[in-house]
Structure formats: C-alpha cells, structure tokens
Amino acid sequence: MALYEHVFLARQDVSAQQVDALVEQYKGVIEAHGGKVGRVENWGLKSLTYRIKKNRKAHYALMDIDAPAAAIHEMERQMRINEDVLRYMTIAVEAHEEGPSAMMQKRDRDDRPRRDGDDRGPRRDFGDRGPRRDFGDRPPRGDRPAREDRA
C-alpha cells in the first residue's frame, strides 16, 4: 500500500461538525477498501486567494492515508460528486511527517527568519563604504550639467 497526504476544501457555509462528518465519511471509504487513515487535521475556515464556485472562504482538512490506489480513486470519485467539496488534492509521499503539519505549527513573527537573510542580530557592516553624501551633493547624471550650472 502507498502513503498519501490528502487535503480538501469544503464550502464556507457548512459547519465544523459537517466537515468532521465529511472526514468520517471519507475515512470509512478508505477503510472499506483496505486502507487506514492516520493523522487528521482540521485547519479551520480560511480565506481563499480567489473565488471558487462563488466562495471566498473554505474549511480546510488534511488526512494522512495509507491505502491502495483503488481506495484513493473511490474517495476522489465521491468527492467529485459531493457539492460541499470545492477542491481536493492527493499527493503520494515517501513517509508521513511526524507531529503537526506546517499549517498547525504556531510560529511567532519574531521567530521567523527574515527574507533578506538578516537574523536580527547586530547591524551588518557595510565594509569600506565611504561617508554618506547629502541629497544635494550627488554628481550630475550623464551629459546633464550640474545643478549650479543649469540656471
């Protein structure tokens, strides 16, 4: 049997209990075909980047699945029929991750590395860069005369 991670998006107007019922329904499909579902995470109601079937938000749910391909096909077939499921994606993985997924990890803004590579340590040294000039001291551009000569 292969290992899969499966994420699906449910409509914004279904309740959290209905999302849990959908997870249980698809869990039953997987188990009926000889597979098993490991970790199940409900990521909650999140905003979508763009509208999907007139919905601006969706309930996200993740399932770690260990099942044959036939079970995955049957689950996806039932998801295509269900009007409450907006989108789904199943990915084959080598091994399931231990612990919470990246979406469930609580990270503080100050703990994240900055994009420019600065780790908020002491100010970086800019080497042998000369003293800073004022705005009016900049050299003329191209063939244009200096500011004093223009008048």
Whether residue 101 is contained in a domain is answered as: no
84 belongs to a structural domain? yes
Q: Which residues pair with 148 in a beta bridge?
A: none
Compute the distance between CA of residue 126 and CA of residue 13 in angstroms, rounded to an integer. Answer: 54
Nearest by Cα to 18 from 74, 84, 104, 77: 84
pLDDT of residue 66: 94
Closest CA to 43 of 26, 27, 14, 19: 19
What Rg, from alpha-carbon coordinates, does the chain have? 27
What is the domain count for the chain?
1
| Residue 55 within any structural domain of the chain | yes
Determine the 3-state secondary structure of 76 from DSSP.
Answer: helix
- Please give the helix or strand (H or E) that residue 149 lies within, else none: helix 147-150
Residue 97: per-residue pLDDT: 81
Per-residue pLDDT of the chain (151 residues; tens, 9 = 90+): 889 999 999 999 999 999 999 999 999 999 999 999 999 999 989 999 999 999 999 999 999 999 999 999 999 999 999 999 999 999 999 888 887 777 877 765 556 666 666 555 555 666 666 666 666 666 666 656 656 655 5
Range of the structural domain that residue 62 is part of: 2-96
41 neighbors 8 (Cβ within 8 angstroms) = no
CATH code at position 24: 3.30.70.60
Residue 107 lies in a domain: no
| Residue 118 within a domain | no
113: Cβ–Cβ under 8 A, 6 or more apart, which residues?
Answer: 119
**Assigned domain for 150 exists:** no
Three-state secondary structure string covering 3-68 = EEEEEEEEECCCCHHHHHHHHHHHHHHHHHCCCEEEEEEEEEEEEEEEEECCEEEEEEEEEEEEEC
Q: 72: closest CA among 89, 95, 96?
A: 89
